Structure 1
Amino acid sequence: MKHLTRLATAALMTTSLATFAQAGGHANWTSVADQSSIAFGSIKKDTVGEVHHFEDVIGTVSEAGELAVSIQLGSVETYIDIRNERMIEHVFRAADAKATLAGEVDMEELDALGVGETTLTDFEGVLSLGGLEADIEAELLVARLSEDRVLVTTANMIMLSTADLGIDAGIDTLMKLAKLPGITRVTPVTVRMVFEK
């Protein structure tokens, strides 16, 4: 569940980044895989904190500023093989399951962002996961790395609820399988994405 929540947040961040990048010109922008990361945290037994991430996240932005992010939920990496397998089976419910984030951004405020400059911007989008939709809001830091590259990160951690994503039942199953007294139902998410055109 925590992974899904983070995934949603990550998707949101990615979308925002793509949007920012698009602001610098009239061309499609695509995320750079080896320079982009979506991480999320979880706490079990009230005292043990861990960091996880998704390895396969793709984001694009059209000339019109339409944002689209796809997250392959089966690419979750928790650094424990059996936990990866259980997350895929019980939380995401399929190895090829995806989460998508869609939104639009007004490019005008970003058009003036010069190379080496940064700005803070608010983003709103819709995350789709397992047939459910959840509204996402985040504040992002955008940095213009060059004329054709933009870095986008979360300005603050994004907190997502597993209940809103409809994955509480999957988390309950994880707790039983791992014999844990509890797993947090709100997850902090951070995003670092690079987009290029």
Structure 2
Amino acid sequence: MKTILHRFVCTIALLLVLPVGLASAQSSDPFEYGWNLDGEASELRFLSVKKSKIAETSSFATLSGLITEDGQAQVRVLLDSVDTKVDLRNVRMRFLFFETFRFPEAVITTQLSPELLTDLHLTRRKEIELDYTFTLRGVTLERSTDVAVTLIDNDRVVVSSITPIAFTLEELDLEEGRRKLEEAANVDITPIGVVSFNFVFDRAQSGTPPNLPEAVFTPAAVALEEKGDMTEEACLGRFEILSKTGNIFFASGSTRLDDKSIPLLENLFDIVNRCPTFRLEIAGHTDSVGSDQQNQSISERRASSVVSWLSDKGIPRDRLTAVGYGEERPIVDNDTPENRARNRRIEFTALVE
């Protein structure tokens, strides 16, 4: 009986001492070994407003990031993983708004000060002002914001926005994307986006510094959607959206495809492959500059250039039809250089087999 009692008392004593032992194990170096972002547990959300009163919240499914041992932090956002909870809305965001075939990721970077966080293992939560840079579509903004840093345990920390962060679409070079979205969805969109985040980091292991692989630029393959053949609705919607991108380019006065067109063409190739029950009409259009005959000819030849590119990639020629409409079908008046550029376009129409 005494032996059992002795063991019971020792067990209770151990349990009482254990939290103290764990607390003493907390490091005063907030960046010891560095940290890796837990992408599945982290969140980056943005709010948009349409029709002046309807607010919609979207997020990104794929995030990666790290904090180095000297406090340099980086979070990468795979823009192809934008999630609005609606498939074709996701496609519009990717192709028309963010143009992810040209700009696959956004990057957030900052330098965390160890002086501000050395007592985090004691306070467990601190609010600090943080300077950061945000890069999107080749535009880099320098900003500051207040964040909450919360130590969940010795090996897990959460960095969260305290108040939402507002950006104008103009400063992020997203005004053209907004116009394309408005035309595609037939809605007015407020030219402001509001962002909030909740980044969760796990401490790296001793001797294994945090790692952030380089982003791999693989158009179409990175899109977070069901793989394999698409439904009729998905195919029709995607071809309509691709027609509105305005990202098929030709050398001035030429029918030779510009290399800038390749990222979008790679996505087009992927979608045509995944819509095997459709033939595709590829239509060329011009502005009103030049003679009718000249414009008709160049529109036909430019459409044929796209057909040849897809055929060379492996799409059967009998699934592709090239047509030219010259200047007959403008989408806007040919009264400004910007409007004439919009009328010079390639459109895609799915034809059921």
Same fold, judged at TM 0.5 (above): yes
The match for 2:201 is: 195
The match for 2:161 is: 154
Higher alpha-carbon Rg: 2
Please state if 1:33 is matched with 2:39: yes
Contact (CA 8 Å) 2:159, 2:198: kept in 1 or not? yes
What is the alpha-carbon distance in structure 2 between the residues aligned to residue 106 and residue 131 of structure 1? 27
Q: In percent, how many aligned pairs have the same letter?
A: 25
1:45 CA drift (Å) = 0.3
The match for 1:58 is: 64
The match for 2:192 is: 186
Amino acid at match of 1:168: E
1:34-82 residue CA offsets vs partner (Å, 9 max, x unmatched) = 2111111111001211111001111111111111111100000011111
Count of residue pairs the alignment pairs up: 175
1:190 CA drift (Å) = 1.4
Superposition pairs of residues 26-175 of structure 1, within 5 angstroms: 26-95=32-101, 97-114=104-121, 117-175=124-182
1:15-37 residue CA offsets vs partner (Å, 9 max, x unmatched) = xxxxxxx9623212011122111
Contact (CA 8 Å) 1:24, 1:147: kept in 2 or not? no
1:125-166 residue CA offsets vs partner (Å, 9 max, x unmatched) = 111112111113211011111111111211111111111111
Contact (CA 8 Å) 2:31, 2:67: kept in 1 or not? no
Amino acid at match of 1:155: I
Contact (CA 8 Å) 2:31, 2:68: kept in 1 or not? no
What is the alpha-carbon distance in structure 1 between the residues aligned to residue 173 and residue 148 of structure 2? 29
The match for 1:11 is: none
Q: Could you say if the C-alpha distance between residues 115 and 35 of structure 1 is closer, same or farther in structure 2, counting changes exceeding 3 Å? A: farther
- Structure 1: any 5+ residue segments left out of the alignment? 1-21
Contact (CA 8 Å) 2:139, 2:173: kept in 1 or not? yes
What is the alpha-carbon distance in structure 2 between the residues aligned to residue 33 and residue 126 of structure 1? 20
What is the alpha-carbon distance in structure 2 between the residues aligned to residue 143 and residue 94 of structure 1? 33
1:35 alignment partner, SS class: coil
Larger helix proportion, structure 1 or 2? 2
What is the alpha-carbon distance in structure 2 between the residues aligned to residue 23 and residue 161 of structure 1? 38
Say which is worse superposed, 109-118 or 81-90, in terms of deviation. Answer: 109-118
The match for 1:3 is: none
TM-score by length of 2: 0.47
Superposition pairs of residues 2-21 of structure 1, within 5 angstroms: none
What is the alpha-carbon distance in structure 1 between the residues aligned to residue 71 and residue 159 of structure 2? 16
What is the alpha-carbon distance in structure 1 between the residues aligned to residue 156 and residue 122 of structure 2? 9
1:116 CA drift (Å) = 6.4
1:58 alignment partner, SS class: strand
1:115 CA drift (Å) = 5.7
Amino acid at match of 1:82: L
Aligned-pair Cα RMSD in Å? 1.7
Contact (CA 8 Å) 1:116, 1:145: kept in 2 or not? no
Amino acid at match of 2:42: S
1:25 alignment partner, SS class: coil
1:114 alignment partner, SS class: helix
